[in-house]
Structure 1
Amino acid sequence: MSQGDTSLLKVRGVFSDFASAGSAAGAGEGVSEMKACLFQNGLLTKVYKDLKTTDNLEYSLGVNRLSGTLYMLADTEQLIDWNNLQPQSVTEEEWLQMTASSENGQPHPFWTGKVSLDSLTSGKQTLSVNMKRGVARFDLLVRGTAISVHRLTLKNVRQQGYLFEQNAVSSPEDVTSDDRVCEFAAPLQKDSVGVAYVYEQKNPELMVSVDVSIAGRSYTLEEYLMEDVKRNTVYTLTVRKELLTEELRLEIEEWNKEGDIALTPDLNSAIHFDVESLVLPEGVSVNGGRDVMTLPASALDFELQIDCDNELEWINDPSLPFVVEPVETTWQDANRFRLRKPLLPPGYPEEEALVRFRRKGLQGVYDEDSLKIVLLANPIQLEGELVFGKDDYLCDFARYVDNELGRMTLPEGYELLARFQNEDAWIKVEQVSARSNTYRVVGGWRPNDPKADGREQMATLVVRRISDGNETESYQIKRRNYGLPVTKMNGVWWCKYNAIGNSRSFDDQILVPQDPAAKAGKTVLEYLNTCTPDEYMRLWNRSAYIGDTGIGMEAVAEGGTVKLSGWKNPSVNMGQLDAKALAPDGYEMPAIEYYDRIFNGGWGMRFDRTDGYYTVQSPWEGRAHVYTLSGSRTDLFVGDVQLPELFHAEVYNKTNGVKDECVTFYGPGAQWGSGGVNHNKIVIACYSPENNGWFHAPGLRRQSIGKENSRIIRFIKSPVEYIY
């Protein structure tokens, strides 16, 4: 790779668990954030602050050349000033001397690791970086009856430690020391993991003091710790009562001493699933070697028997996708456990898990004492936007959605139903064909729904076995139910009001329950004729748009002139944007052809006249004529500027001589330069790749519209398959 090339390097973080007897490499559980720094020729050249954690802890990094050392850091947000860490700002020598400090005596948990890039020939391979914890852990072991540990104190603990592992265990030169006191809410009478944590340190003064009681008498046991306390290492503090002398002792041991050979039990027999003692549920199977059990995706709650010569204790692992609990039995019938697992929803892969046990009388946990459980994926197949949570079985769109939400393909012999509890039937489920077991899940819309105020709508999808009617699975779908007031004219559901404020946000729009004209029992034209000036301006102002911002410009008074605040000549023409680019979910800017159905394009159709009929530009289903009814206001002000007579008008057609529903147009005139608003000269936004539009000045005309023209936006409801 040449000097100027950029390579995409894949790096996998291999997170080491604390090095202790019987431990295995951890998976980095609990890591909240990962960052990286690249040093080349002894100088920081690249900082990676936004690495996204993936399921397999792989990260993609761009490097300019394959050289230098890559340092990986996890959970160091509070230890490094990442905002001010910039390339060229620190040398590698200075970097390796960086330290972490305790807070209120507690060290910050973090991981670090590094890898050299000098030997790489391409960026296509995946590098593994061994990530070590920056702290050491102390465990407390209690050996003897009636022993209670009340307090543990680590004396003279170094309060600072190096971020990165040094050539030898050491402490920073200006390190401070303090005591770390561990008080327990209740006296400890059994083994306890992680009673204290400290930074890696070289410390000949480090001591441990343990306050214990036995048979009503109190004791304090003290011992010096080893001088070198290593990162990523477990140290056990054992309080032991000798059987013969009844003497109390404090023993200290480092688990991972080099050269030590871990002791393992004399295993007379491996453990197996005992398939003869219990009846397994439907779909559960055990392999011939009796060491692998396969579970279906369905929810299960059953007992299993483990075949072993020793009594077993299950090792709790919160990461397992099921729960195992011991079943109280007699000593003749030990090693019986209860396994409970939830339903695995569709869309998740097959999983494998190891269930570990400890033999009674042994302290260690050994790989031989484990059994594998395979959890099969759900046979239901999903398509589209349907994604159900693994824990709550919920697909929460958290926004308004309609039309086809997705498809579910069920196993043969099953069907899909939609159910609602105290809710409208806003979802329908339909089978794609008689020969297919695929079901479409379709979201619906209700015109002028009085409950469309942004509330949550819930539906339940139920999987039912056809042969016996047994309902085997259920999943929930949730959306926000928003709706804009609409009126249907010539085949189009027109919104009754202009877009206001943030045109993409329902929060700024007039929603159905807020429809002021409907509340007053009037048409929009009647409401505009009679409402207060403030109410008129609430609908009229902040409804002028330009370019692709989607933010309504406010009309303001400036030097005796009304101007649109923030107007400037944009780089894009609004009419050539995607029809849904500026609209809230489920709505869109009308195509120019929709306006052709209700407008006459020869300057003759005017908003300042009540007249008709007019012949429309493009008749729809034979409806060639429309009529207008106008109104005006002379009592409106913008700041201290009184507006000239402002006109508004409704456009309607007739069926058998009777007036049909209508669409009313109003709004600030267009601004196309620095001179301000041109009153009653309205540009009406519409989608037109050819850059045509509708302009009223003083009559309506279909013509090319320049990008510099501000416009009012009247959305329509996007086509919807299901109206409920």
Structure 2
Amino acid sequence: MKYNLYLIFSLLLLVSCGQKEDVAGELPQGTIAAQLKISGMPGVCGSDAEVDIKDLQGFRFEDGVLAEVFPSLALDKEGMCVFVPKREKGDLYFLANAGAAEGLDKLKPGVSLLDDFMELEVSFPSLSLEVLPMTGSMAVEGKHTKAVFMKRSVARIDLSSFAKGVSVKSVAVRNVLTNGYMNESEVVRTPETDEKTDFEKVFEDGCFMNRSEPLFYMAEQKNAGLAVEILLNCNGSWQRLEARLPETIRRNTVYDLQVSGLGASAKVDVIAGDWESGDGTVSENRPLGVIDASASELSGGVRINATNDTVHVPYYGSDFRLALLGEEGARIKVEGTVDGVIVDQTAARTLQKVAEVSVSSKVRMPGTKKEYIYLDVYSRDTYAARVVLVFEGSPVRLEGQIRFDSDGICDFNRYIDGELGMITLPEGREIRLEFAGDSPHWMKLEQNEEGSWRLLGGWKPNDPEADGRVQEGKIVISGTDGLHREVYTVRRINWGLPVVNIHGTWWCKYNLRGNVKRFEDQVLIQSDPATQENLAQYLMNCSESELLALMGHQYQGGNNDGLPLSHNGNSFYYDGMKSSGQNFGTMGPSEMAPDGYRIPSYEDYAFFSWGDNVNLGGVGSRPFNNKTGQRLNVTVAERDVSFLGNHFGVVSFYDFEQDGNHWVLYGLGHQWNTTPGSIARMNILFATYGHSSNTWGMEGYASSENPGNNWFKFVPQNSQKTRTIRCVKNAVEYIYD
């Protein structure tokens, strides 16, 4: 089993959909939840191996003695694991991806000591790993939901080469110790071993240039013999560069081999930093670069590196000015482009400055990756130096359905509700929603865990503004001081159907007609003719032409277009009926329903019955208890009608009342084959989801023909027969006023 972890995880939902209680309060007695986070990772990584966990084990120690082992902890996709210790005492140590650890199988509860555990070794004989071993720990006592920061047991070696005309052929690190300790100690230790190896990476195309990437991983170690050799080509000439890695190589740290300069000035520097950026301190002194940092004007978040030749630009946008140094008469050439970035040059004000470069960078969209622009300095038409502008990719992580275009707009261009997406922010950023004027707050942010929010689209029952107008809201991300704002726009089309709430289920009042996906074809809220009176009474008294329009169309599975009632001069039939149709019972419940609605299931209709084949009785009212004991009342009414200028016959209306709420079931009878006249006038089949052969139907009889008989049934029916579609609203977590 494989999981991807990021610095900020969503809080595990241990309660059913729609509940908002705190997770810790929902944990059963004695249960502890651990939220695993990757130390030094804001959600961006060099490879999947750096965040994947394939297996997770736990070891609980009390007073320095192993008390309990959890050999296989389940980790959900949000990074949460739940366990039940025998005692809420001591400390729990986590080992992730520890398959290569030596002696793990020898640890025994009640026998093994914490000192033994800390001596576990792991071997890294090769330069690449499928997954990285990680460790972390937590105190068992106290809060029942805790964050655990996992550290990788290895260091990473990167290569960076941005010098113009320089391509790297190979990189080697000599005398690498292959064994290290799995667990972290207060000081870096190295197992007593003489096993060393050389790690080497050869670029077959010989053209590693203008980029930075991870090379390989190595164990944490104290080793004075770590030597670096780089073979490169500078404008056609081969050179070999040498450098030394620090004597102490620390876990969870990146060591970047940075190649710079040309010809005799070419060199490699080792810069150590955290896993986030690999940008830190220089291992040896370098001459001053081409950026005059003191004369430059930098906006918040813009950083110049220690060697004054690289500028890191934050993803949330910046406007800044760089002063570049050089000989008199030198010139600047800009290479590369990045969307939303403008680079302008102005004349220098002193002989020591080549130019002043103004850079304007817009907010980088979520999902964008790191990109580069190069400022190449030429002296008398000869390339002299390069400044690298590094435009950081956005660490804002989006999951789900929300996507932004280059202008920061997510336009769904349809009705949508429910969870629109998950938004994860880097540390130090805040998020909120903004709506214009008196616009309804149709979106909501719900925090899962620090730094992670669910974006919910809401629904308003019987909203008079659900008429196809556009709803808009803005997601605003900023620093805690309100600065460095990112503003993203989310739009949807607001549609809705008239509904009534029966025991927590929002039932549509009217049958579908026209195309099942087109709200414009349906009876909409603002055009509901029976808002001030009982629908059954309205259907009994309205004109026959209006009644036919409200009866809806018939449907066959797989055909989104309704089959209207027609007459050929001799018989009624449903225009467009085919000899076969798909099975509503096995199709997705939302496939033939407007966005946000679905085909009812067996359980939905069963609420209005006390069995699978019951007689509701004839014309009149009567109470009954349904299958789950709720008290309902049903009123049966009938009306003899003519449609399309021809006598159709008796149709019935079934008004179910529960706790004062009325829901009326009605419709045109089904057609059983394509021959005109094959309509069972009072036998209504309702599209039902979830069963491959049975469907709900109303087998009605006119009181003049078979009094006292109206049977509500869940029985087998073939998929050729037409169906009436009465939808229910999908469950929605956020209902707004």
Residues 630-677 of structure 1: CA deviation (Å, up to 9, x unaligned): 24242x323x42211322232212x3xxxx111112222111122422
**1:702 maps to 2:704:** no
Cα distance, 1:516 vs structure 2: 2.3
1:630 is aligned to 637
Out of 517, 523, 529, the position equivalent to 2:534 is 523
Contact kept, 8 Å, 2:334 with 2:373, in 1: the verdict is: no
Cα distance, 1:424 vs structure 2: 0.8
2:408 is aligned to 393
**1:578 maps to 2:578:** no
Indicate how the Cα distance of structure 1 residues 367 and 488 shifts in structure 2: closer, same or farther if over 3 A, else same.
Answer: farther
What is the alpha-carbon distance in structure 2 between the residues aligned to residue 357 and residue 480 of structure 1? 52
Residues 217-252 of structure 1: CA deviation (Å, up to 9, x unaligned): xxxxxxxxxxxxxxxxxxxxxxxxxxxxxxxxxxxx
2:88 is aligned to none
Residues 561-584 of structure 1: CA deviation (Å, up to 9, x unaligned): 101112223253222222112112
What is the alpha-carbon distance in structure 2 between the residues aligned to residue 425 and residue 320 of structure 1? 32
Cα distance, 1:343 vs structure 2: 1.0
2:545 is aligned to 534
Indicate how the Cα distance of structure 1 residues 278 and 318 shifts in structure 2: closer, same or farther if over 3 A, else same.
Answer: closer
Out of 337, 341, 344, the position equivalent to 1:325 is 344
Tell me, which stretches of 5 or more residues in structure 1 are unaligned? 1-126, 128-268
Pairwise mapping of residues 304-315 of structure 1 onto structure 2 (< 5 A)? 304-309=322-327, 310=329, 312=331
Pairwise mapping of residues 63-102 of structure 1 onto structure 2 (< 5 A)? none
Pairwise mapping of residues 282-297 of structure 1 onto structure 2 (< 5 A)? 282-297=300-315
1:348 is aligned to 368
Pairwise mapping of residues 1-400 of structure 1 onto structure 2 (< 5 A)? 272-309=290-327, 310=329, 312=331, 321-327=340-346, 330=349, 335-355=355-375, 371-390=387-406, 392-400=407-415
Indicate how the Cα distance of structure 1 residues 610 and 516 shifts in structure 2: closer, same or farther if over 3 A, else same.
Answer: same
Amino acid at match of 2:637: S
**1:667 maps to 2:677:** no
Cα distance, 1:679 vs structure 2: 1.0
What is the alpha-carbon distance in structure 2 between the residues aligned to residue 321 and residue 345 of structure 1? 10
What is the alpha-carbon distance in structure 2 between the residues aligned to residue 612 and residue 291 of structure 1? 86
Pairwise mapping of residues 417-428 of structure 1 onto structure 2 (< 5 A)? 417-422=432-437, 423-428=439-444
**1:457 maps to 2:457:** no
Contact kept, 8 Å, 2:324 with 2:356, in 1: the verdict is: yes
Amino acid at match of 2:568: E
Corresponding residue SS for 2:555: coil
1:501 is aligned to 514
Corresponding residue SS for 1:643: strand
Indicate how the Cα distance of structure 1 residues 336 and 668 shifts in structure 2: closer, same or farther if over 3 A, else same.
Answer: same
Indicate how the Cα distance of structure 1 residues 535 and 355 shifts in structure 2: closer, same or farther if over 3 A, else same.
Answer: farther
Q: Provide the identity percentage.
A: 29
What is the alpha-carbon distance in structure 1 between the residues aligned to residue 350 and residue 727 of structure 2? 75
Pick the structure with greater CA Rg.
1
What is the alpha-carbon distance in structure 1 between the residues aligned to residue 377 and residue 549 of structure 2? 70
Amino acid at match of 1:499: L
TM-score by length of 1: 0.56
What is the alpha-carbon distance in structure 1 between the residues aligned to residue 731 and residue 546 of structure 2? 31
**1:684 maps to 2:686:** yes
Residues 54-104 of structure 1: CA deviation (Å, up to 9, x unaligned): xxxxxxxxxxxxxxxxxxxxxxxxxxxxxxxxxxxxxxxxxxxxxxxxxxx
What is the alpha-carbon distance in structure 2 between the residues aligned to residue 306 and residue 355 of structure 1? 10
Residues 478-531 of structure 1: CA deviation (Å, up to 9, x unaligned): 11111111001122100011011111222322222222222xx32322322232
Contact kept, 8 Å, 1:294 with 1:375, in 2: the verdict is: yes
What is the alpha-carbon distance in structure 2 between the residues aligned to residue 411 and residue 331 of structure 1? 40
What is the alpha-carbon distance in structure 2 between the residues aligned to residue 469 and residue 415 of structure 1? 8
Kindly report the root-mean-square deviation, in angstroms, between the aligned alpha carbons of the 2 structures. Answer: 3.0
1:714 is aligned to 726
TM-score by length of 2: 0.55
2:422 is aligned to 407
Corresponding residue SS for 2:514: coil
What is the alpha-carbon distance in structure 2 between the residues aligned to residue 337 and residue 353 of structure 1? 12
Cα distance, 1:681 vs structure 2: 1.4
Residues 305-338 of structure 1: CA deviation (Å, up to 9, x unaligned): 1223225366597665411123466575661121
Contact kept, 8 Å, 2:636 with 2:652, in 1: the verdict is: no
Residues 340-378 of structure 1: CA deviation (Å, up to 9, x unaligned): 110112211111223467889x7xxx8767542111112
Cα distance, 1:716 vs structure 2: 0.2
What is the alpha-carbon distance in structure 2 between the residues aligned to residue 549 and residue 644 of structure 1? 28
**1:643 maps to 2:614:** no
Contact kept, 8 Å, 1:546 with 1:710, in 2: the verdict is: yes
Cα distance, 1:403 vs structure 2: 1.5
Corresponding residue SS for 2:549: helix
What is the alpha-carbon distance in structure 1 between the residues aligned to residue 687 and residue 619 of structure 2? 22
What is the alpha-carbon distance in structure 2 between the residues aligned to residue 291 and residue 329 of structure 1? 18
Amino acid at match of 1:342: K
Contact kept, 8 Å, 1:402 with 1:445, in 2: the verdict is: yes
Indicate how the Cα distance of structure 1 residues 345 and 697 shifts in structure 2: closer, same or farther if over 3 A, else same.
Answer: same
Corresponding residue SS for 2:491: strand
Residues 585-639 of structure 1: CA deviation (Å, up to 9, x unaligned): 1110111111110135544215x622212343x23xx4143322424242x323x
What is the alpha-carbon distance in structure 1 between the residues aligned to residue 335 and residue 482 of structure 2? 38
